[in-house]
Structure formats: structure tokens, C-alpha cells
Structure 1
């Protein structure tokens, strides 16, 4: 009998309904504003890739049908039912769905697995027989995780305690020292003590996503600001650190030159079994997540093997606490190659999209071996409405195809922001092809006036 794969554990190997509830999930842990909600809605476009083969896609922001056609053509998807424009910067996806009883009934009547970004009260996909799932609203337990487990282990203090308990059995893992500040005065004292020793510290809010609420603070920066109290005041005024207590002070780990940031992804099945998905290299700018790369040869076995072993043990511990569904563990790799786990995420993540795309491309194009890189924010040289942005991406995609690289737009809704960007994924057979394609893509989108004429003539 064939062993169950992570895709079996995730959806029973079936197509699914994807709910773009990133902003809803974040609102459980982060102070909310219209701007943060809008940005979360942009990121929800990644819902197209919550599984390798979606059946229904429900998104807060409006998206053009042409975007979905580009993905479907490249990934050989069967027709995908699209519902977009469900929410805006003043509403969540759950609120938008609550105002659309016909859509809720449609989702519930399909009998398909329902996969959100993560477990959220008021928006849940309740597991049913065979892992199919049904649409529900109580949020007590979902294929996106149990709310109790999610709320506990999304905490950076709780995840650190879990890592500390499990690490003794993993010689390649070193858990950074972490101390709760306890109070604003205690935070000032801890920063002062470490700055006096010339040490860099990492300050962490109890919860955060994508780098929000995490700060790397050097001794020089403390001195330049006029001391720890002034430095902390500046960080809070800039919105980098949230107000209030609960800040954690963590040891700073110097990063490996070639592989500074890794992540392990896995799925916990309904029976509690842990199914590894893989290890990815993350692109982290400062403390902010920007994308990930997955595929053969991306992560050396000497790093991937211990990351997987530790990740699986963390998964078993999370399963014992009631979590079901996707999870990951992020690591900083020190110069000697030891892995420092920094947080758990009991939900889908950006790297999960890269794994989904790789799985789909390997399945429909074969043989297995695609290398996939996601880039969530490629700067644009001008603000572009979706139709114009998609036209330009189609021209770049045509050029990259000649080099054996596939371009997949993942976040097409942020092109008209004050600082316009687009999210993409690139797929190829080698890292060298990806690196060359990324350089072409970035230049073409940042300097369209110089290149569009050439691209249009090539496409013609």
C-alpha cells in the first residue's frame, strides 16, 4: 500500500476551496489598521496556491480573470471558480462572506476540502469524513489548525519553550537564549546590559508575521540614539515595535554566509501523523521575509537533514497539542552550520506557495526536479492597474520562456500602491536559470520605458 504523501495529508489528494483570509488571521495577533488590513488582503492573493490544484478561489481584493488564466495555463489547472472583491480595507474576508449567504451555501454544498491561510474564529473549514471538510463558522477546529494550538504556539515565547525542550536530542540545533523583559523598565535594563558588552540583541513582540514586531538592535545603534531608552522610544514611534509589555530579548545569531535563513514545512494529518514537505531557503531582508527557493540542490543535505529531523519532532509535539494542518519552523543558520530555530507558524506561509507550485509543475510537466523561487515584492517603475501590469508580465513571461523559465504572477493587486510592487514565482530546472531570470525580471519591471519596446518586438 502506498504511503500517504503530504498532499494526501493536506487535502486527501483532492482539489479544494481556498479562502484568502490572511488579514483575518493576522488580526488575531497584531494591532489592526486599514493599511495592515489592505496589505494582508494583497498577500491573500497567494490563496491561489494554497494547494497544487484549486477548485474555488475566494479573495478579498478584486482580481482580473486574466491573472487566473495565466496561472491556469502554466499549471494545467482545470477551471477554477473565482470570487473576488469580497472585502476591502474596512472589512475582513469573514465579514464579506457573512454578507453573502449564497456564496457560503455554494461553498458548503461542494463537499470539497476548504483551506484557509490559518485557523480564524468565524471562518473555519471543519474536517469531515476523508478530510473533505465543510464550510463552517465556529472556528473550533479546522484543517488550518485548532485555534487553541494556533494561538498558543504562534507565540514566540511558547515556541521558544518548545524548541528548548526538544533541542537536546538534536546536536545540530542550538536554541538562542531568550528572556522576557517583563516591563518597559526591564526592557531598558536588558538592552543596556547587552549594549555595554557590545552585543547585538533581537527584540521580539509576542506575536508577529513576516518580520513585523522583530528588531535587530546593535550596540552602536543604541549609542547613536542616545541610550537604550531613546532607542526603544524611536522604534515604537516608527511602529517597528508595538506598544505595551511582553517584549522578548533574544540572543542574536550571526548568520551563515550562503544559507542564512531556512524553513521546514510539514503537514499534520487528521490522524496526527506528521508528513514532511521540505526545506526551503528564505530570502530575508533585515528581518523581513521577501520570498523563498525550493527544489533539488537548493539546500545542502548537511543542513536539510537536521532541519527535517527537528521539524518532524516539533510536528509531533504540535500534533499532541491538537494542531492539524500546515506548519513550519524558521531557522537562522550560524557560521558553523548549526540551526537556530526562531519561530513556529501554525498556518500556511510564503514558502508553502513555492512547495505547492513545485509539486504541481513536477506532476504536470515531469520529471520531478523543478526549482521554484517566490518573490513577494518586486518593485515596479510606475504605478500600474492590473490589466496593464498583466500585459507587461505576459511580455516578460514570453521572453523568459525562451530561456526555459516559467513566470507565474502571484500577487497582482499591489501595482497601484504608493510604492507599487508585484508578487511572482519563477520556475526552472536550475538555480543558475532562476538567478538570470530574476535579474531580467527586476530590470524589466523597474525600467519599463527602456525595455518594453524590445520585449514587444521579441514577442512579435
Structure 2
């Protein structure tokens, strides 16, 4: 198995600079539970808009970047130097927090001149994921000028909506798994209503069984939680626990799936396999990475040579390619991944399909670009939402990151900023990537960054005193 194979690059962006659209919130909005109130929906939208800053690295070489939140040019200039990009045209602040409910498709529709320029450039257009609104703007059959490489098709959108469901993906896993001895699919139940779900959770807890609760749709761990027998007892029963988890927004209101808990441990517990379905339906592997998951919440990933041992990597790739062929047969085209949990016997349990770009996709793209411009062998670790000890403007954050870059450089590590827009939120954070030639250097740099971020709070406390 090749750790990183080049075929996906032509299949993904035709080997050319591309237009990157940060439509994370638009994509997620397709799957919001109807029972969410306005405040919950707005929080989901705002989080998606911040995460969309990673659109800077949707492909190895952007030509145009379209972002919902305002991003200063200095961030793009910094990345352009490190990644040897040519001229990059940035359009940011297109769907700001002041425009409640505004998505990227709406924002672009309101800018016909920008749309026409993108269309006339004839470049590949790469969104985070497919939405009906985006297809209306860029599909060759639609009214707007379309680039040479379309964002997708109605068939691909239908497949996306089907298999982003954790119930439909489970059905596909179950159908494919018999041909893959190293794969096992956790049992899944679909209770009819919350009372039935509570009874099943209580019955499982009485037997000492831990249960994974999944909303049919969710991203980044939202809508998925693990419930132990002790938690059921401490909450005063399963019904009370379900009410609390919904109120805390750990679960979305509405349907619920119950899944067998896979007991895993160690560095390799959570794996992801990424691939691209090309325009001709061929499936091109990108690679296998080790995800960092806190409970059920994705935190980042490490990709590169020897990060995943050959055995698990080959098993993940073989199964992931089979999933990709099934998606392609139904009409899907574009990036996808399959996530796995490894149990204590080293069997792989597939947990979900993401028919879109993901955090790991950005890590694979960065590795490909760094290998191209600096030579092969890079390891890349993305850290999606590192807490900051204080709220910072983008200018103050830039100064902080520049200091971190210098310190990481002395360790032989390149630090690349990915999500600079969340630094002034109520819970401020920043998304970063680290690139090096060995894991010890990555570990040292990550520790350095975490300590320095936390120390910001102490610094501001000192100044205030």
C-alpha cells in the first residue's frame, strides 16, 4: 500500500490551482435536526463558518479562496511563502455573523460579478461538500457560468445525503464486511421513539454494557456520545439521561441510533482512510491517518510515513476502497473518508462515512504540498481547535503565532495556521498544523504550543494586575 499516492491529485483538482469554497456551515445545515431551536442552529452555523477557514488548504495549490468570516491577508501571505503558492485571490467576510442565517451559496449569489469571474477562469471549484445551493450556482446545466471542472452533480448530492446518515452507512458496512476478514461491524439498533430507546439503554446498562448513542447525522463528534452503566445510574435512569444529553446539545433532538461500544486503546484507536472518487468513477486512495479523539469529539490527525503500521493500514484501505466503489456506482464523485475504531484484537470497526472534505483531508493535502516543494517524507499533524488562554484579535494572534513558528522552527517543525477566526470567541481557540520529519519533533512542538497558548491567560492577568 502506498502511504500517499499521486493519482488522487489529478482526480481531485485536475492537477491545477483551484477555487476553494468554505461552505462548511451550508453543508452541515442540510442535516440539522428539525427540532433544533434558533439558538442551537445559530451555534452550529457559527462553528461551521469558523471551521471553514481551513478552505485555504482544500487542495495543494489554491487560486481563489472564498471564506465566510473575515480573514486578514497576512495569514494567506504566510502560507503562500511556506507552501510555494503563486498569487492567491482571497475573498473573506462573505457570510459574517451579523448576517444571521446567511450561507456561502446565498453570499455568492448576491455577488454576480464574483461568480462570473470564477466561472470564466475555468478552474476546478472545490467546496467542503455538496449542497443544492452550490449546484445551482456552478453546475454546467445551471444558469450561472460554470468552470471546466464542476463542483458535482445532482446524483452525487443524493448519494451524499443518503450515506452521511449513520444508519445508511451502517447498512453499507454490513453488506461489504463479509469480504474483509479484518473488519467487523458493531451491532446497531434503531429504536422506535425515545421511550423505546430509553428501555433498550436501561436493559443494556443492567447487563453492564456501554452503549454508543448516535443521532442519525452529526459532524466532528456532535450528535454522538458514549453512555456507561454508571452514567445511567447517576442520571436517575436512561430517560433522564437522554433528556439531559439533548438539553446539553450532546445529542440532536429526534431519532436515535444505539450502537455496540468498541473497547479500544492506545495510539491507534481511531483511524481514518481518505480517498477521492474521480470524474470517471475510479477510486484513488489518499492515505490512512491516526485521529486524535477526545471522547467522541475529533481533535486532529497525524498522517505520513509509518504513522499507521502496514497491517491496519492495508485493512483500512482495502475496506475503504470497497466503500468508495459502492459510492461511485451510485453516482458519487469527490472526496470521502471512512472512520474506524480498532479493538484490542486489532480488528477494525467502521463507524461512519464522510462524503465531503474533513479535517484529515487538509492534513493529507498539506503533506502532499510539502513533499512536492521540500522533498518527500513529511509527517503532518493538524490540531483543529487548540484552546487559547485569552481572547485575541487576529493581529495579536498573528504575533503570537509568529513567535510560536520561530520556537517550533528551532525544533525542526514547521507551524502553519489554519483557523485564525475563532480567537475572539467566548471560548477562544486556534487551528494549526505542524509538519516535521519525525513524531518526536511533532510531540515536542505540540507540547510547546499548548503550554504557550495557555500561558496567554497568565500574561494578561499579569498585565491587568
TM bin, normalised by shorter chain, reads over 0.9
Q: Given the superposition, is the C-alpha separation of residues 351 and 4 from structure 1 closer, same or farther in structure 2, using an over 3 Å criterion? A: closer
Aligned to 1:149: 159
| 1:354-402 per-position Cα deviation (integer Å, ceiling 9, x unaligned) | 0000000000000x10000000111111100001101110111012112
Asked if 1:443 corresponds to 2:454, the answer is no
Between the aligned partners of 2:407 and 2:228, the Cα distance in structure 1 is: 44
Q: How many residue pairs end up in the alignment?
A: 440
Aligned to 1:132: 148
Asked if 1:12 corresponds to 2:14, the answer is yes
**Does the 8 Å contact 1:296/1:370 carry over to 2?**
yes
Higher mean C-alpha displacement, 93-102 vs 409-418: 93-102
Shift in Å, 1:99: 1.1
Between the aligned partners of 2:268 and 2:440, the Cα distance in structure 1 is: 16
Alignment gaps of 5+ in structure 2? 34-39, 142-146, 461-465
Asked if 1:307 corresponds to 2:316, the answer is yes
Between the aligned partners of 1:449 and 1:183, the Cα distance in structure 2 is: 46
Give me the CA root mean square deviation.
Answer: 1.7
Shift in Å, 1:239: 1.5
Length-normalised TM-score, structure 2: 0.92
Alignment gaps of 5+ in structure 1? 453-460
Asked if 1:93 corresponds to 2:116, the answer is no
Between the aligned partners of 1:163 and 1:9, the Cα distance in structure 2 is: 25
Aligned to 1:457: none
Aligned to 2:345: 336
Between the aligned partners of 1:387 and 1:47, the Cα distance in structure 2 is: 20
Asked if 1:58 corresponds to 2:66, the answer is yes
Higher mean C-alpha displacement, 95-104 vs 410-419: 95-104
Aligned to 1:378: 386
Aligned to 2:272: 263
Aligned to 2:131: 120
Alignment of 1:40-439 (within 5 A): 40-89=48-97, 90=100, 91-124=102-135, 125-126=138-139, 132-134=148-150, 140-141=153-154, 146-244=156-254, 246-366=255-375, 368-439=376-447
Between the aligned partners of 1:444 and 1:381, the Cα distance in structure 2 is: 9
Q: Secondary structure at the match of 2:349?
A: strand
Q: Secondary structure at the match of 1:293?
A: strand
Asked if 1:26 corresponds to 2:39, the answer is no
Shift in Å, 1:184: 1.4
| 1:411-432 per-position Cα deviation (integer Å, ceiling 9, x unaligned) | 0000000111000000000000
Shift in Å, 1:132: 3.5
Shift in Å, 1:84: 0.2
**Does the 8 Å contact 1:11/1:132 carry over to 2?**
no
Between the aligned partners of 2:239 and 2:196, the Cα distance in structure 1 is: 11
Length-normalised TM-score, structure 1: 0.93
Between the aligned partners of 1:302 and 1:4, the Cα distance in structure 2 is: 22
